[in-house]
Amino acid sequence: MHSGIRVRLSGFILFVSNIASFLFGFIFIVLISRNLSQHDLGVWFYIGSIITYFEFFVKIIPYWAVRDFARGRRIVKTAVTISSVISIPLMIIFLGLSLWISTYIEADIVVFMVASLLIPAYYVSASINSILYAKYPHKVGWRVPIIDGFKIPLAFILLPYGLVGVLSAVVIANFFYIFYGLYIVRREFEEKLDYEWLKKRFKHVWLPIMQSGIGYVNAASDSFLVGTLLSPAQLSLYGVGTTISNAVRASSQLALPFSMKILAKTTVSKDEISSMIKFLTIFTMPMLVGGVLLSKNLYGIFGPAYIDGSGILWILLLSAVITSYTSIFSGTISGTERADYDLSVSFKKLLRSRLFTIILVDYLATILLIVSLFTFIPILNITGAALSRLVSSLSLLIVFSLLCSQYIDVRKNLVNIGRITIACIPMSAYLLFFAYPRAYITIINIFVGAAIYFTALYLVDKESRYLIRRFIKELAEKVFSILE
């Protein structure tokens, strides 16, 4: 199937959307961190880590929906409906466990009752996003304006109700995004539920369950164990660092349209991989360097009480960069795998496929993460949690890059990364001399530093000039098509 996805343009739109999500999320966390107690902020992060475990089955339907919809099968109504059904019993179980958990961490049970509504919201959103990513990845970019456009003002209005009000704002905002997603994909709805597709894909439900389960366990383990082994106050410090590092982690969205294009055509070349790695590096390198140099100032935006945790930020940022590179290689492995083209593919064939290899590697990395967390947190506190995350991320990058070794031009990629690093020097000099511990100065410095970096990059690297010009051309064509 031919893919009409504009890789750089769609990837950039998703990246900008996720950066906007980070900025709005930053504002949101600052808002609640300055208006809630440190204990309540820790409870906020703790609830987030617990809900993550209830997303264990969230990819059962989206896993196959994105692959089959990208290849031309209409299964939108089926995917959305079944995801909704799966979420209901999980929400009920969450409510049951909340009676014990709320007592353990000294939180109001009403907080958990409101938070439970996020479970069906996340399940339905996952199916809608799988359809959008497969065919309209740029339209996912509206997720941030919709969710944060409602979440932030609603949270501000509901702050007198404390954490319950904040969570209510998040729930309402997520349901508004669901309404938007359903509106966008309404023309893709099949006339009736595709039970044939559902029946055959459910035979292989073990594959997405394994992937989804380990993915969410991996994502939540560090926050959960910091909150459990240390305290909600320590988790608030770690959570702030995670929030900041999510800006870098958002760059993995640059690779998503690239992965979808590979999935549609099932082939890729060394030059395409090198171009994607460079395009990703153009954004991740300055974010890593700038984040390290401004670590204390960034933490200070959340309030003076959180600055003590800034020492872990460089570790979390480096881990986020590594995760973004890994997304290119895992997307390549998944996209070039053809074993699942046949709906009647056998269990043994899937077990021998590279789809299962990806999951197996994720399990090994997660085991390494959990063992490291139990080893390092008692000794190094939140620094141990950050180091554990870095070790796990690095192990994934090494294995996936080896699996994609036939597509990687090591020398070319190192040269590209070196040039981009050189372009960061003027920006670094500016940030070192003009850093100032005021929130608004820090934000101004981020934008000025970005302008200095992109100017330097444009001057020192010919290929970057080509990539930037090509992207601007694609963006202009998109704008003109909308105006017409």
Q: Is residue 18 predicted with pLDDT exceeding 60?
A: no
- pLDDT score at 163: 86
Residue 443 belongs to some domain of the structure: yes
Look-up of token digits 């294009």: 261
Residue 64 CB neighbours (<10 A): 25
Q: How confident is the model at residue 355 (pLDDT cuts 50, 70, 90)?
A: confident
Note down the domain range covering 381: 7-483
Section 113-134 average pLDDT: 89
Residue 2 belongs to some domain of the structure: no
Q: How confident is the model at residue 467 (pLDDT cuts 50, 70, 90)?
A: low
Section 69-95 average pLDDT: 89
Residue 290 belongs to some domain of the structure: yes
Q: How confident is the model at residue 1 (pLDDT cuts 50, 70, 90)?
A: very low
- pLDDT score at 30: 73
Q: Is residue 468 predicted with pLDDT exceeding 70?
A: no
Residue 1 belongs to some domain of the structure: no
**Vertex 375 angle, CA 370 and 380, to 5°:** 115
CA distance 389 to 320: 9
- pLDDT score at 475: 57
Q: How confident is the model at residue 484 (pLDDT cuts 50, 70, 90)?
A: very low
Residue 84 belongs to some domain of the structure: yes
Contacts of 63 (CB under 8 A, 6+ apart): 130, 207, 208, 211, 212
Please state which of the ranges 9-18, 359-368, 410-419 shows the lowest mean pLDDT: 9-18
- pLDDT score at 306: 84
406 Ramachandran zone, left/alpha/beta (phi>0; psi -120 to 50): alpha
Residue 199 belongs to some domain of the structure: yes
Which of 399, 378, 379, 367 is CA-nearest to residue 221?
Answer: 367
Question: Mind spelling out the 3-state secondary structure of the chain?
Answer: CCCCCCHHHHHHHHHHHHHHHHHHHHHHHHHHHCCCCHHHHHHHHHHHHHHHHCCCCCCCCHHHHHHHHHCCCCCHHHHHHHHHHHHHHHHHHHHHHHHHHHHHCCCCHHHHHHHCCHHHHHHHHHHHHHHHHHHCHHHHHHHHHHHHHHHHHHHHHHHHHHHHHHHHHHHHHHHHHHHHHHHHCHHHCCCCCCHHHHHHHHCCCHHHHHHHHHHHHHHHHHHHHHHHHCCHHHHHHHHHHHHHHHHHHHHHHHHHHHHHHHHHHCCCCHHHHHHHHHHHHHHHHHHHHHHHHCHHHHHHCCCHHHHHHHHHHHHHHHHHHHHHHHHHHHHHHHHHCCHHHCCCCCHHHHHHCHHHHHHHHHHHHHHHHHHHHHHHHHHHCHHHHHHHHHHHHHHHHHHHHHHCHHHCCHHHHHHHHHHHHHHHHHHHHHHHHHCCCCHHHHHHHHHHHHHHHHHHHHHHCHHHHHHHHHHHHHHHHHHHHHHC
For the entire predicted model, the pTM comes to 0.71
Q: State residue 395 phi and psi, 5-degree precision.
A: -65, -40
Q: Is residue 299 predicted with pLDDT exceeding 80?
A: yes
Which of 208, 185, 80 is CA-nearest to residue 137?
Answer: 185
- pLDDT score at 472: 65
Instruction: Tell me the per-residue pLDDT of 147-183, one tens digit each, with 9 for 90 and over.
Output: 878 888 888 888 888 888 989 999 999 999 999 989 8
Instruction: Tell me the per-residue pLDDT of 34-55, one tens digit each, with 9 for 90 and over.
Output: 777 777 878 888 888 788 778 8
pLDDT above 70 coverage of the chain, percent: 90
Which of 298, 255, 261, 253 is CA-nearest to residue 277?
Answer: 255
Please state which of the ranges 136-150, 303-317, 385-399 shows the lowest mean pLDDT: 136-150
- pLDDT score at 368: 95
Contacts of 50 (CB under 8 A, 6+ apart): 94, 101, 220, 224
- pLDDT score at 316: 95
**Cβ–Cβ < 8 Å for 313, 245:** yes
Residue 69 belongs to some domain of the structure: yes
Q: Is residue 9 predicted with pLDDT exceeding 60?
A: no
Q: State residue 35 phi and psi, 5-degree precision.
A: -120, -15
- pLDDT score at 483: 42
Section 72-94 average pLDDT: 90
Q: Is residue 222 predicted with pLDDT exceeding 60?
A: yes
- pLDDT score at 371: 94
Residue 45 belongs to some domain of the structure: yes
Please state which of the ranges 145-159, 245-259, 328-342, 410-424 shows the lowest mean pLDDT: 245-259
- pLDDT score at 15: 53
Mean model confidence pLDDT for the chain? 83
Please state which of the ranges 129-143, 166-180, 453-467 shows the lowest mean pLDDT: 129-143
Section 118-123 average pLDDT: 94
- pLDDT score at 473: 66
Q: How many domains does one find in the chain?
A: 1
